[in-house]
């Protein structure tokens, strides 16, 4: 299907993959792969967000992807780009993630990896905040699955171990566990 967004033509192709993939290998008529359940407005918004990021001479061979996932008990938009290594961060209500160029995406495993990384970043950020406020340093912060407790404190080692299952909780609940 042909789709025009802000005066530029795109070929819209239905995909079984969740999310949106923008294939810019053919700059004359870029291809958008989108799951049928994604609204046209969401596709158009995504394309408008991407159009300013790459000058015309850099567009060749770049594939961008977009998906939604549950994170901290709410649906979060994730923008995925290809690069040299895995890295992700949260900015506002969106998560930006970079994955290896040649990596084949298993969406479920990628979502787990992203959620784990964002969860750890959030907890480390909140612990850092309270370390500064209280003037007390934690020697080690670790993450693992615990049976029942949201965290375990070792006073002799000055360390905290957070339960990886806390990822299903809201940010406010996790923040209260850190405090």
Instruction: Find the CATH number of the domain harbouring 164.
Output: 3.30.2010.10
pLDDT tens column, 27-50: 778 888 888 888 888 888 877 776
Last residue of a domain, one of 88, 105, 122: 105
Pair (95, 149) in one structural domain: no
pLDDT tens column, 81-134: 877 888 888 887 888 888 877 666 777 888 888 888 988 888 888 888 888 888
Pair (89, 8) in one structural domain: yes
Specify the pLDDT at position 170.
78
Nearest-angstrom CA–CA distance, 118 and 32: 28
Last residue of a domain, one of 81, 105, 129: 105
Q: Which of 113, 121, 116, 122 is nearest to 171 (CA)?
A: 122
CB neighbour list of residue 123: distance below 8 Å, 6 or more residues apart = 141, 143, 162, 166, 174, 178
Pair (144, 63) in one structural domain: no
Last residue of a domain, one of 49, 81, 105: 105
Length of the chain: 179
pLDDT tens column, 14-25: 888 777 887 777
Nearest-angstrom CA–CA distance, 20 and 172: 30
- Look at residue 55 and tell me whether its pLDDT is greater than 80: no
Pair (77, 163) in one structural domain: no
pLDDT tens column, 58-87: 333 444 577 788 888 788 888 888 778 888
**Count of beta carbons in the 10 Å neighbourhood of residue 17:** 13
Judge if pTM exceeds 0.85: no
Domain total for the chain?
A: 2
Give the structural domain span for 161.
114-178
Nearest-angstrom CA–CA distance, 106 and 134: 42
Specify the pLDDT at position 59.
39
């Amino acid at each position: 299907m042909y789709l025009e967004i802000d005066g530029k033509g795109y070929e819209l192709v239905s995909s079984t993959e969740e999310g949106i993939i923008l294939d810019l290998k053919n700059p004359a008529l870029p291809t958008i792969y989108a799951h049928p359940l994604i609204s046209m407005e969401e596709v158009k918004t995504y394309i408008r967000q991407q159009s300013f990021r790459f000058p015309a001479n850099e567009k060749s061979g770049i594939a961008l992807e977009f998906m939604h996932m549950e994170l901290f008990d709410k649906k979060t938009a994730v923008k995925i780009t290809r690069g040299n290594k895995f890295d992700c961060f949260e900015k506002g209500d969106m998560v930006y993630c970079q994955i290896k160029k040649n990596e084949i995406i298993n969406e479920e495993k990628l979502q787990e990896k992203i959620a784990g990384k964002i969860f750890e970043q959030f907890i480390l950020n909140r612990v850092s905040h309270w370390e500064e406020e209280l003037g007390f340093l934690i020697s080690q912060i670790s993450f693992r699955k615990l049976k029942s407790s949201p965290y375990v404190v070792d006073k002799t080692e000055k360390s905290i171990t957070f339960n990886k299952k806390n990822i299903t909780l809201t940010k406010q609940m996790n923040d209260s566990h850190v405090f």
